[in-house]
Amino acid sequence: MVVNRLDDVVTGALEVLDAYGLEFCSMRRVAGHLDVQPSALYHHVADKQTLLALMADRIVADVEVSAAGSVRERARSLVRALRAAMLAVRDGAEVVATASAFRLGASQVEADLVDVLADKQGARTLLLFVFGHTQATQMHRMAASVGAIEPDPDLDASFDRGVDIVLRGLL
């Protein structure tokens, strides 16, 4: 494959993520998957951290804030969509949470949540609960899928209840 565009690098990285998980998603392996030398990757992205941020942006690209509804409804639907987008990709919550920790709030979703709540610290608190819960859910599901633990049927409902608790503290 000829890596002509940054988009191709991000696509390749997400394919490696899906196949091997974040733990084994190295620049070297992404280069190998794209059948190029690692130096060709570095032509497009400065480092692993930059690649991770681009992967995170792609994972949440379709998460949109709704224009209608109360603040509570808009915040709730935004974080539900964020959770669904992260759960749809292997280790997606870890990728997005890690990228967020490195940038501290530069992503579009984070900006949208600040906008909806009109409260930067409140948005950050809700977001960190969302990351914490979704990472736990994803780890739990992964372990349950290989039979290591019993599945927990309450994970979706407990997310909603937790979001409502945080929003009650905010609004």
Q: Which residues bind its own copies (CB under 8 A)?
A: 23, 47, 49, 97-98, 100-102, 104, 121-122, 124-125, 127-133, 135-137, 139-140, 143, 148-149, 152, 158, 161-162, 164-170
Neighbouring CB atoms inside 10 A of 72's CB total: 16
Rounded to the nearest whole angstrom, what is the least distance from the CB of residue 98 to its own copies in the complex?
6
Query: What gap in Å lies between CA 10 and CA 99, rounded to an integer?
Result: 14
Token pair, residue 110, equals: 């984070």
Q: Coil, helix or strand for 33?
A: helix
Q: In angstroms, give the least distance from the CB of 157 to its own copies.
A: 9
**What distance in Å separates the CA atoms of residue 106 and residue 57, rounded to the nearest whole number?**
10
Minimum separation from the CB atom of position 167 to its own copies (A): 7
Of the two residues 7 and 152, which places its CB atom closer to its own copies in the complex?
Answer: 152
Q: Would you say 10 or 96 has its CB closer to its own copies?
A: 96
In the complex with its own copies, which residue's Cβ is closer, 2 or 146?
A: 146
Instruction: Tally Cβ neighbours within 10 Å of residue 70.
Output: 9
When the beta carbons of 28 and 161 are compared against its own copies, the nearer one is: 161
Q: How far is the CB of 125 from its own copies (least distance, A)?
A: 4
Long-range Cβ contact pairs of 100-106 (< 8 A, separation 24 or more): 100/56, 100/127, 100/131, 102/49, 102/52, 102/53, 103/53
Q: Indicate the residue among 36 and 93 with the shorter CB distance to its own copies.
A: 93
Judge whether 116 and 68 are in contact, CB under 8 Å: no
Q: Quote the least distance from Cβ 57 to its own copies, whole Å.
A: 17
